[in-house]
Structure 1
Amino acid sequence: MKNKTNSSYAVITGASQGLGKAFAFELARLGRNVVLVSLPGQSLQSVVAAIKEAYNVEVAYFETDFACNDNIMELCEWLNSNFSIDILINNAGVGGTTRFTDVDVNYIETIIQVNVKATAILTHQLLSNLKRQPCSYILNVSSIAAFTPVGYKTVYPASKVFVHYFARGLRAELKDSNISVSVIHPGAMATNPEIVSRIEKQGFIGKLTLLKPEKVAQFAISRLLKKDSVIVLSHLTWVVSKLMPEWLTLYLMTGIVKREINNQLV
């Protein structure tokens, strides 16, 4: 049940589906008020209604597109004007699997804008709010892809490396403050049938590493509140990525993704 004296809120971006939605439900289950942020037209209001029905917490929402800096600043102004924020989860992100030679400039710009710029700007603009609370948390959602470059994904893993190092650097900078910064590296998740089908086409490894968003969210929030620095769900994957030469992981992962692309063309 909700702690009636708790007037602070957790902000979750990319909250209409997948891991973001799971984060929202998990935090509400723990009695925390939430502000959900997502793109317009993604049925965010139905998620809000479901959380309100299931849990005795306050729920607010904001629909916007992070592809525009002005939209990010408008969101930040609204958040800072209306809420005391003690948790920020930078979950919104975009990626893709295709040949780099086949993409257009908008594809590249969108990944950098949403994964890199929006994460940095949103965090920067909400820091003063987070500092005003007795104890605050920031969780950056990176990816297992940040551990190695991957052909046919190219820009996406590079953007997730930024998310990782941004969180690590900020944690060091804020170590004597009330804000704890964490980063999580989830793998592929069963967020919808299309993604499940796509990952399964990667073969045995794809099926083996497929995760349920609800389990990821539950584990991540528990570790966030314990102030873990780097949250890894599969320590075996992390250890292998650290011990295996980069050229070998690059070769293996690119082969897996190439198989996925070839299966899509069949």
Structure 2
Amino acid sequence: MDMQEKFAVVTGASQGLGKSFARQLAAQGRNLVLISLPNEGLPALCEELVSQYGVVAHCYEIDLSVKENVLAVSKSINENFSVEMLINNAGIGGTKKFDEVPAGYVEKIIQVNVLATSLLTHQLLPNLKLQEKAYILNVSSLAAFSPIGYKTVYPASKAFIHSFSRGLYQELKRTNVFVSVVNPGPMKTNADTTRRIEEQGFFARATSLDPDKVARYCIQQLQKRDTVIMVNRLSWLLLAILPIWIKLPMLTNKIKKEIDVMA
């Protein structure tokens, strides 16, 4: 591999927002290193982006919920690629009663959302620092701004991502590495998510987001050095204004109804 070529690394790249990030970056002519779970069509996506945009694209099909996998893929990327952009998009959530989930469910959310993001950033940072200009974008969520019952671990993990990103931005602000965080709301990323958004009523439908538009806006704002990217200002404003004693039970009741429907 010619280490003069620069690459953007995107996690969770096989579907949803991650796939949109990959497409938008390829359209800009950026070479890609894409990471996702096995058997989600990542090699086909790489081939498609190479064919359509003439970029170089490599893929790693691994499970980021396993710490050793994160360290192994970081090592391989550092040995083979010059990284100028890292988009930590991979994340998992869920809507369940906390006392009814297995221990592995809790562990997996923390491993992917918190540990994989932190470790991958830590391991690739020396590589990013070698570039003239480099960027890190971490994908948090509007859920970072309020605890929610029946989701419990997910909003807490996204609050971590928001805090981690802001702290790292401050630490690196005088270096060549710029750090940003985006807090999107619900996105119509697949048929199941779209159905759930449609069932949640007018406000959910009105504030839901298109992943392609979100990805395009995020990359644009990242390159403009926007430290906290807000793609849904109305929802963010409501969460910022409402006191915790209103929004916590309100959001929890909304999620409880979803659970009751699924039961």
Which TM-score tier does this pair reach, normalised by the shorter chain? Answer: over 0.9
> What is the rounded CA distance, in whole Å, between the counterparts of 2:201 and 2:99 in structure 1?
25
Counterpart residue identity of residue 248, structure 1: I
SS of match in other structure, 2:181: strand
- Structure 1: gaps of 5 or more residues: 1-5
Partner of 2:254: 256
Change in Cα spacing, 1:203 to 1:261, as seen in structure 2 (3 Å) is farther
Name the SS of the counterpart of 2:173 in structure 1. Answer: coil
Q: Give the total of aligned pairs.
A: 261
CA RMSD of aligned residues (A): 1.3
Alignment correspondent of 1:51: 49
5 Å matches for 1:100-139? 100-139=98-137
Q: By how many angstroms is 1:101 displaced?
A: 1.7
| Residue in structure 1 matched with residue 196 of structure 2 by the alignment | 198
Is 44-53 or 30-39 further displaced after alignment?
Answer: 44-53
- Alpha carbons 1:203, 1:256 under 8 Å: kept: no
Rounded to whole Å, the distance in 1 between the matches of 2:204 and 2:108 is: 26
SS in 2 for 1:108: helix
Q: Which residue number corresponds to residue 219 of structure 1?
A: 217
Would you say the 8 A contact 2:207–2:235 is kept in 1? no
Partner residue, 1:65: 63
> Does the 8 Å CA contact 1:29/1:55 hold for their aligned counterparts?
yes
Could you list the per-position Cα deviations for residues 15-68 of structure 1 after superposition, in whole angstroms to 9, with x for gaps in the alignment? 000000000000010111111000111111111122112101111111111121
How many angstroms apart in 1 are the aligned matches of 2:207 and 2:122?
33
Equivalent residues in 2 for 1:68-79, closer than 5 Å = 68-79=66-77
The TM-score normalised by the length of structure 1 is: 0.95
Q: Deviations over 1:109-139 (max 9, x none)?
A: 0000000000000000000000000000000
**Unpaired segments of 5 or more residues in structure 2?**
none
TM-score (ref. length: structure 2): 0.96
Offset, 1:247: 1.5
- The match for 2:157 is 159
Aligned to 2:82: 84
